[in-house]
């Protein structure tokens, strides 16, 4: 019996040591150059902004407590940081949402002091976007984990999760429990405070009094490249640098389709040169200017001089109220020499709220992100998730992927359309659409890429492409 207990305790000892080693494997840091942001005793060095949720120190942990009828609350570091590596451990009650702000600000002149800036998302819900990067109070999602399915599984409910943020120059990378979640390139904010968020719960009494706990919060601000973790090549880089190709994008074959300065590589869809008026190039933005709100009755559509067959296209667009436009691909400008637009598959750009076309067509197949008049855009990457449009006056990201007949539309890094352009289903959809009279519509081996003039002011930038073999 004594021998049995000896083996039993030895077994538990092995489990404890193994657990400690597993936890340490998520953090390769040593004591050199690291600073504790939380002393384990009180909230010295921190200040609370915006909401009135309660923050306490209990058992060497910072505990945030959700509170009814108060806006998002933030416990902010007094000191600001620019380049750093931040590590912390966290547990979030599964019924609430949280986050850790970094390079964030609270300015009287911006939205009455609302905290804004990058946020390391803490999302224990079924959406599972923990470790993604959200920009609080500004652009919203910059790196949703719709881009990284493996990263969605990194955060675990009910245990302490070890988290890491590397913000070095314009690169932001995140990890949870040793799994890389985000790989973002952005230059919107260079410095700011760290903040622990207790998300607003409105009047939802079922979420009142729930806890978020943080501990072992530490930061390093020197010798960062030496301690930076290696990049997982399977975690896609998402860049928001305007009209710029990153080194990694160049290595993967990306190039600018519009140089941000001239009309080189583009011409009118129904002319041999670029339109003399109606299209404007100014401060890194390519704009079609408003005329009468009709299709191609102003300066007309513009197309690439090159043809493309298998490719990934990405750009940002910004619409004015009530605007209509589109991005077309597999365009054959010889098919329609008369009135109206050139013919091709169209990623619809539309103000769904204020333009009547949103209610035309069939089941919303003319709304933003849709394959115009054929397939309705809807959230596909996460079950039950709706498409994300960032609104009139804001920059939205469009992506079109065409490979081996398979086509995808992405809106703000969420897949909203997928189809096979050679399938019987696609042919059937075309047969009952406005394109039914164009033989082999959407199945041509190659075509131009087009930006549409539909009589409304629409802006474009950061137009880039890579071709597949």
| pLDDT reading at 4 higher than 80 | no
313-371 pLDDT, tens digit per residue, is 999 999 999 999 999 999 999 887 777 788 999 999 999 999 999 999 999 999 999 99
As a whole number, the mean pLDDT across the chain is 92
Percent of all residues in the chain with a pLDDT value above 90, rounded to a whole number: 87
Instruction: Tokens 């923990």: give the residue.
Output: 130
| pLDDT reading at 24 higher than 80 | no
Averaged pLDDT, 380-389? 79
Which pair of structure tokens corresponds to residue 334? 């010889």
158-167 pLDDT, tens digit per residue, is 999 999 999 9
119-161 pLDDT, tens digit per residue, is 999 999 999 999 999 999 999 999 999 999 999 999 999 999 9
| pLDDT reading at 7 higher than 90 | no
Q: How confident is the model at residue 26 (pLDDT cuts 50, 70, 90)?
A: low
At 213 the pLDDT is 98
210-241 pLDDT, tens digit per residue, is 999 999 999 999 999 999 999 999 999 999 99
Averaged pLDDT, 27-45? 84
Which residues make beta-bridge pairs with 467? 311
């Amino acid at each position: 019996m004594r021998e049995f207990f000896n083996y039993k305790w030895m077994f538990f000892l092995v489990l404890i040591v193994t657990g400690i080693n597993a936890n340490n494997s998520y953090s390769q840091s040593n004591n050199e150059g690291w600073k504790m942001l939380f002393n384990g005793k009180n909230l010295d060095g921190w200040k609370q902004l915006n909401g009135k949720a309660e923050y306490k120190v209990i058992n060497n942990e910072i505990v945030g407590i959700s509170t009814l009828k108060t806006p998002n609350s933030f416990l902010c570091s007094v000191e600001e940081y620019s380049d750093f590596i931040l590590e912390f451990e966290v547990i979030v009650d599964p019924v609430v949402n949280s986050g850790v702000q970094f390079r964030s600000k609270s300015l009287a002149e911006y939205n009455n002091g609302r905290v804004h800036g990058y946020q390391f998302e803490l999302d224990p819900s079924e959406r599972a976007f923990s470790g993604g990067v959200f920009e609080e109070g500004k652009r919203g999602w910059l790196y949703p984990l719709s881009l990284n399915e493996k990263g969605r599984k990194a955060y675990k409910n009910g245990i302490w999760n070890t988290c890491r943020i590397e913000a070095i120059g314009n690169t932001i990378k995140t990890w949870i429990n040793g799994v890389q979640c985000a790989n973002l390139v952005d230059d919107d904010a260079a410095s700011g405070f760290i903040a622990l968020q207790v998300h607003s719960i409105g009047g939802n009494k079922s979420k009142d009094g729930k806890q978020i706990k943080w501990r072992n919060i530490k930061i390093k601000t020197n010798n960062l490249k030496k301690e930076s973790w290696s990049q997982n090549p399977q975690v896609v880089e998402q860049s928001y640098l305007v009209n710029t190709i990153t080194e990694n994008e160049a290595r993967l074959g990306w190039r600018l389709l519009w140089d941000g300065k001239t009309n080189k590589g583009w011409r009118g869809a129904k002319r041999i040169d670029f339109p003399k008026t109606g299209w404007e190039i100014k401060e890194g933005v390519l704009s079609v200017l408003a005329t009468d709100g009709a299709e191609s009755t102003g300066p007309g559509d513009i197309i690439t001089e090159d043809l493309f067959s298998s490719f990934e296209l990405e750009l940002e667009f910004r619409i004015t109220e009530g605007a209509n436009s589109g991005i077309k691909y597999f365009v054959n400008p010889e098919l329609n020499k008369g009135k109206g637009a050139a013919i091709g598959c169209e990623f619809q750009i539309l103000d769904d709220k204020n333009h009547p076309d949103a209610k035309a067509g069939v089941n919303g197949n003319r709304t933003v992100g849709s394959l115009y008049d054929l397939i309705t855009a809807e959230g596909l990457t996460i079950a039950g998730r709706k498409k994300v449009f960032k609104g009139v006056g804001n920059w939205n990201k469009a992506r079109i992927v065409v490979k081996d007949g398979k086509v995808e539309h992405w809106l703000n890094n969420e897949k909203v359309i997928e189809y096979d352009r050679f399938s019987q289903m696609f042919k059937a959809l075309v047969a009952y659409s406005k394109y039914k009279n164009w033989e082999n519509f959407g199945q041509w081996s190659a075509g131009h890429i087009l930006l549409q003039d539909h009589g409304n002011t629409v802006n474009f930038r950061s137009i880039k492409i890579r071709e597949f073999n």
